[in-house]
Chain A
C-alpha cells in the first residue's frame, strides 16, 4: 500500500523528485537561455543594420544625438559607459563624446589662470568650436553637457552651475555651496557684484556677503577692484564678455599708468 509521507522510502522518493525537478529545471533554464541567445543574435543584427545606415547621422546631427541619448536614458542604458561598449563600437557614439571631453579639458586648463576654473557654457562652446576647426562636425551645448557629465567620474571637479538661463562650467575642485552659487548668479548681469548689492538683493548680513566674496577671491574666481568709484567691486573673469575685455600684452601693461 502506498502511503504518502513519512518513512525512509518517502524521503528518498522526495529527494529523487527534487533531483528530477532540478534536472528538469536545468533543462528548462538551458532552453530559455538558448532562446534568449537566438533573440540576442537577431537583435544584434538589427542593431548592426541600424548602425550601418545611420552612423553618419549620429555624428552629423546633434538633434539626433539628443533623441538617441534620451531614449537610452528611458530604458536605463548608458551608451557612454565604456569605450569598449556595444554602442561605441557599433555607432561610434563614444568617440564623439570622449574626444569632446579632451577638448573641454584642454580649453578649461588653458583659461584657468585667468578665470580660476569657472567659465560660461557659451564661452566654452565657442572656444571648443574654434579649436575643432572649420571642417569638423558641429557640436551643440547639449553635447558639451553630456561630455562634462562623463568627466566628473575622474574626480576632476567638473560641474555645472545654473546661472542666468545658462550654465557656468566649473573645472576645478573648489568648494562652491549654495551661497557661492547665488552670488555668482547675482553677478551674472554685470560681470561684477558689490557687498551692497548682495545685501540689498539677497537680504544678507555684511559678514555673510564678505565671507562668500573672500572665498571666491581665494579660489581665484573673483578679482577685486578696490579703486571703483563708490564701492569695491568683485569681478568674475568667467563672466567677462568679448566686448568688455581684451587681453593685454606685457609691453602694453608697462605703458599704462598705475
Chain B
C-alpha cells in the first residue's frame, strides 16, 4: 500500500477511464487497509481508488508499478479478490496514505462482485500499456488544489456522473421489469377471473343440460397454468398424455439403477437421477409423482409405493413384498441382529430404505425391535 499516492482523481489529458467498480476494499498485503470500502477505478494510466463517503480521500498508482496480478476466488464469507504484485517504489513517488509497508503486494476485495470484468479490463490495459504511448501531460490546473484533492473538478464529477447514469439505467431496467410484471399480473388476474367464472358457469350449465363435456381445451389450459380444477380440485389432469409419456420414459431409465439398488429407490433419489440426466426442462416433484402413479394402469413393471412413514419409493414389481421380507428375516437371523445401518451396508441400499424394509418385516410379525438410545436394532421374532 505504500505505492499509492494521494490524488485528486482528475483524469489527465490523454488518460481515459476504462472501468469502475463499487464496493471495493483495499488490502495492504494480507491485512485490511485502514480505509473503508470504496470505488476502484481503472484508467489507461492508473489504478485509482476513492472512498465512497469521503470523496476527498482519493489515491492512485501508476499501472507501470504493477509487476503481475492474479485472481483469488471467493470462499465462504470471503469475497473474490484480485491480488496485485508491485515493483519497488520509485524514488520520486508522491506521498500517500502509507509511508511504508512490509508487503509488496495489495489486494482488491470485491464485496459487490464485478471482479470478473475488472480483471479482464486490467489484463487488457496491462497488455496494451497505453500509458507508454500517450504520456499523460499535466492536467489543466484549477486553482492551487493541494495533493489531497480538495478541489472538486471535472474529472471526479465526470466519473461520478457516469456511475450515476449506469446505476440509474440498471435500476430503470429492474423497475421496468417490475412495472411490466404488475401490469401483466393485473391482466392475468382479469383473464383468470373471467376464465374461472366462465369455466365454473359453463361446467355447471353443461352438466345441468346433460351436454357432453366440450371444454375446448380450457380445462387443460387452466391446469397448465397451475390453477387447480375448481370442480375436482386437482392440480393436474391425472392421466394426461404428458404424464403417460413420462411414466414410460421413467420405466426405461430406471430399470438398471433399480437393479443395482436392490429393486427399490426413494422418490427423492429418482428425482435427482432423472433431473441430473435431463439437464434442461426438468421435472417438477409433482410431475414425477403423477407419472409414477400411472405405472400400474399402464401395466409397466414398476410401482410407486408409500410407506407408513410417508416415504415414497419406486420399486420393481418383480421384487415382491414376500421376497423382501423373507430376505430381511434371513439376513437378520444370519447375523443374530441388525440395525438399519448394518442392513444397508449388507444390501447396498440407502439407510432410509433398509429401515423401511426392516419395519415392514416387523409389521408382518417376523422381526421384533430393541429400541434404545444406542439405536434401533432388529431381532428375529421368536414369540
A residues touching B (Cβ–Cβ < 8 Å)? 22, 25-26, 29, 32-33, 36-37, 39-40, 43, 46-47, 50, 53-54, 57, 61, 64, 67-68, 71-72, 75-88, 94-95, 98-99, 101-102, 105-106, 112, 126, 130, 134, 150-157, 172-173, 214, 217-218, 224, 242
B residues touching A (Cβ–Cβ < 8 Å)? 73-74, 76, 80, 173-174, 177-178, 180-182, 184-185, 187-189, 191-192, 194-195, 198, 202, 205-206, 209, 211, 216, 218, 221, 223-228, 235-236, 242, 266-268, 271-272, 275-276, 280-289, 306, 309-312, 351-352, 371-373, 375-376
A-B contact pairs, 10 of them (CB 8 A): A43-B191, A57-B173, A64-B174, A71-B182, A77-B225, A82-B287, A98-B285, A112-B351, A153-B286, A173-B309
| Structural contact, B178 and A39, CB atoms closer than 8 A | no
Contacts of A157 in B (CB 8 A): 309-311
Contacts of A101 in B (CB 8 A): 271, 275, 285
Contact of A50 among B173, B181, B375 (CB under 8 A): B181
CB-CB under 8 A for A102 and B272, given A29-B205, A130-B76? yes
Contact of A156 among B182, B242, B311 (CB under 8 A): B311
Which B residue's beta carbon lies closest to that of A224? B373
Distance of A68 Cα from B80 Cα, bound (Å): 30
Contacts of B224 in A (CB 8 A): 82, 84-86
Across the A-B interface, how many residue pairs have beta carbons closer than 8 Å? Answer: 178
Contacts of B311 in A (CB 8 A): 155-157, 173
Q: In the complex, what's the smallest C-beta–C-beta distance from B106 to chain A, in angstroms?
A: 22
| Structural contact, B194 and A154, CB atoms closer than 8 A | no
| Structural contact, A81 and B286, CB atoms closer than 8 A | yes
| Structural contact, A106 and B272, CB atoms closer than 8 A | yes
Q: In the complex, what's the smallest C-beta–C-beta distance from B323 to chain A, in angstroms?
A: 23
Contacts of B192 in A (CB 8 A): 75-77
Distance of A36 Cα from B372 Cα, bound (Å): 64
Contacts of B376 in A (CB 8 A): 218
Distance of A64 Cα from B351 Cα, bound (Å): 39
| Structural contact, A155 and B267, CB atoms closer than 8 A | yes
| Structural contact, B242 and A84, CB atoms closer than 8 A | yes
Which B residue's beta carbon lies closest to that of A54? B177
Distance of A85 Cα from B187 Cα, bound (Å): 19
CB-CB under 8 A for A95 and B280, given A64-B174, A72-B226, A153-B286? yes
Contact of A46 among B187, B276, B351 (CB under 8 A): B187
| Structural contact, A43 and B187, CB atoms closer than 8 A | yes
| Structural contact, B191 and A40, CB atoms closer than 8 A | yes
Distance of A164 Cα from B76 Cα, bound (Å): 22
CB-CB under 8 A for A76 and B227, given A40-B191, A105-B271? yes
| Structural contact, B216 and A25, CB atoms closer than 8 A | no
| Structural contact, A54 and B275, CB atoms closer than 8 A | no
Contacts of B173 in A (CB 8 A): 57
| Structural contact, A53 and B180, CB atoms closer than 8 A | yes
Q: In the complex, what's the smallest C-beta–C-beta distance from A69 to chain B, in angstroms?
A: 11
Distance of A87 Cα from B174 Cα, bound (Å): 20
Contact of B174 among A61, A75, A155 (CB under 8 A): A61
Q: In the complex, what's the smallest C-beta–C-beta distance from B289 to chain A, in angstroms?
A: 6
Contacts of A242 in B (CB 8 A): 76
Contacts of B209 in A (CB 8 A): 22, 25
Contacts of A53 in B (CB 8 A): 177, 180
CB-CB under 8 A for A134 and B180, given A43-B191, A87-B225, A154-B312? no
